[in-house]
């Protein structure tokens, strides 16, 4: 049978709801409308995106939602409302998950909550959306995954441990950037024992000598703050970890006070989940290996000279580093409680 008047293909496509124009998303009326539609979890997610720049859909499920369907439905609405923006990086084989950054309406919401003007927040939509093309994108997403896996573990009903602090590299830079800028800072509590650490996330793009030279700066930071904090270095492969350990050990031996720079390493091949920081995967650098690899909560076993309970982050001597610029306080790593209605 010949079809003489076929329906155009474009008319067969499902309707795709359009986002309002940018001028609508930035209007006072739209912000007032959002005030009664954004949940506590939405606002917390905005703060997490402001702090950590980019989170994938998988990471957002891990830290905030009971499942992917609930996350996708809510993220779709937040995208349409201009609260978050999304993009999907190119991949030759398969596809990356959707990546999310903070959009203008979301930034305005959290700025107004803290009594700030949007311009005082230091937010730039062009910069956030431009992360889709950043050469640091994979590094940022990978480093964030080290912490989101800990939040996922903390959210399990039988969880006996909890991530209590997660600072981004940008926040670390504002505190200690005159000396050294770690890729992240965290605190983990299990069975009443709290451990803290700095993260150095190696993606194979930095020379090992440059990475090892950071230990000199970590020694300076320990001298300035009076606190010796473990430095945990993650490497993509066991071969790169082995090579790095030799270079790190050589630099440690050259320090005036190597005991003030506790260093342990792991690789993506050290456990079943390459990004599970809590697993028994951390191996002390300046050690014969007699203790073997230990879990995150067991780090004090590697350095018995360290205090059993680290001081509060607020107790660090920040007068020795650059002043903090105005901005938001770090969000709590754990999401706010949500009602069963919002969980569905």
pLDDT over 70 percentage in the chain: 85
* Rounded distance between C-alpha atoms, residue 240 and residue 307, angstroms: 31
Q: What pLDDT score does 329 carry? A: 87
266 Cβ neighbours under 8 A, 6+ residues apart: 232, 233, 234, 235, 241, 281, 282, 283, 293
Task: Note the pLDDT tens digit of each residue in 43-56.
Answer: 999 999 999 999 99
Please compute the mean of the pLDDT values over residues 89-104 and round it to a whole number.
89
Average pLDDT over residues 23-42: 89
Of 144, 164, 67, 151, nearest to 101 by C-alpha is 144
The order of strands in the sheet holding 263-267 is 161-168, 184-190, 193-201, 231-235, 263-267, 283-284
269, pLDDT greater than 90: yes
Q: Which is more confidently placed, 310 or 277?
A: 277
pLDDT tens across 319-342, in order? 333 334 445 789 999 999 865 444
Which tens digits make up the pLDDT trace of 196-206? Answer: 999 999 988 88
99 token code pair? 């990546």
CA-to-CA separations, 221 to 148, 169, 186, 218, 257, in angstroms, rounded: 27, 15, 16, 5, 12
For residue 317, what pLDDT is reported?
44
pTM above 0.75, yes or no: yes
Q: Which residue has the tokens 């979301």?
A: 106
DSSP H or E run through 266: strand 263-267
Query: For the residues 153-178, what does the mean pLDDT come to?
Result: 94
Report whether 115 contacts 38 (CB < 8 A): no
Considering only residues 106 and 12, tell me which one the structure prediction assigns the higher pLDDT: 106
Residue 37 neighbours by CB under 8 Å, 6+ apart: 81
Structure confidence at residue 308 as a pLDDT band (50, 70, 90): low
Please state, in angstroms and rounded to a whole number, the distance separating the CA atoms of residues 344 and 341. Answer: 6
Mean pLDDT of 193-220: 93
Mean pLDDT of the chain: 87
Domains and CATH numbers, the chain: 22-134 (1.10.10.10), 137-320 (no CATH)
SS3 readout for 184-207: EEEEEEECCEEEEEEEEECCCCCC
Q: What's the whole-number mean pLDDT along residues 58-66?
A: 97
- Enumerate residues 6+ apart whose C-beta is below 8 A from 211: 200, 202, 233, 244, 247, 248
């Amino acid at each position: 049978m010949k079809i003489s008047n076929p329906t155009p293909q474009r008319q067969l496509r499902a309707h795709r709801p359009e986002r309002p124009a940018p001028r609508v998303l930035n209007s006072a009326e739209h912000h007032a409308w959002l005030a009664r539609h954004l949940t506590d979890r939405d606002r917390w997610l905005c703060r997490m995106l402001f702090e950590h720049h980019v989170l994938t859909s998988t990471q957002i499920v891990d830290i905030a939602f009971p499942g992917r369907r609930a996350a996708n439905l809510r993220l779709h609405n937040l995208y349409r409302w201009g609260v978050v923006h999304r993009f999907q990086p190119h991949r030759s084989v398969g596809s990356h998950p959707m990546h999310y950054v903070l959009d203008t309406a979301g930034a305005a919401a959290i700025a107004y909550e803290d009594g700030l003007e949007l311009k005082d927040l230091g937010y730039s939509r062009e910069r956030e959306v431009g992360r889709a093309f950043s050469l640091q994108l994979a590094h940022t997403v990978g480093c964030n995954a080290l912490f989101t896996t800990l939040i996922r573990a903390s959210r399990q009903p039988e969880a006996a441990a909890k991530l209590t602090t997660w600072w981004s590299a940008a926040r670390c830079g504002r505190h200690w950037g005159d000396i050294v800028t770690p890729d992240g800072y965290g605190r983990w509590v299990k069975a009443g024992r709290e451990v803290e650490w700095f993260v150095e996330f190696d993606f194979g793009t930095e020379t090992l000598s440059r990475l090892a030279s950071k230990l000199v700066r970590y020694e300076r930071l320990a001298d300035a703050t009076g606190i010796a904090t473990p430095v945990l270095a993650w490497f993509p492969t066991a071969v790169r970890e082995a090579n790095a350990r030799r270079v790190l050990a050589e630099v440690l031996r050259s320090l005036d006070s190597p005991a003030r720079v506790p260093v342990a390493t792991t690789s993506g091949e050290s456990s079943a989940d390459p990004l599970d920081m809590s697993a028994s995967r951390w191996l002390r650098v300046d050690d014969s290996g007699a203790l073997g690899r230990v879990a995150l909560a067991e780090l004090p076993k590697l350095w018995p000279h360290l205090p059993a309970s680290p001081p509060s982050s607020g107790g660090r001597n920040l007068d020795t580093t650059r002043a903090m610029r105005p901005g938001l306080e770090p969000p709590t790593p754990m999401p706010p409680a949500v009602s069963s209605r919002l969980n569905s």
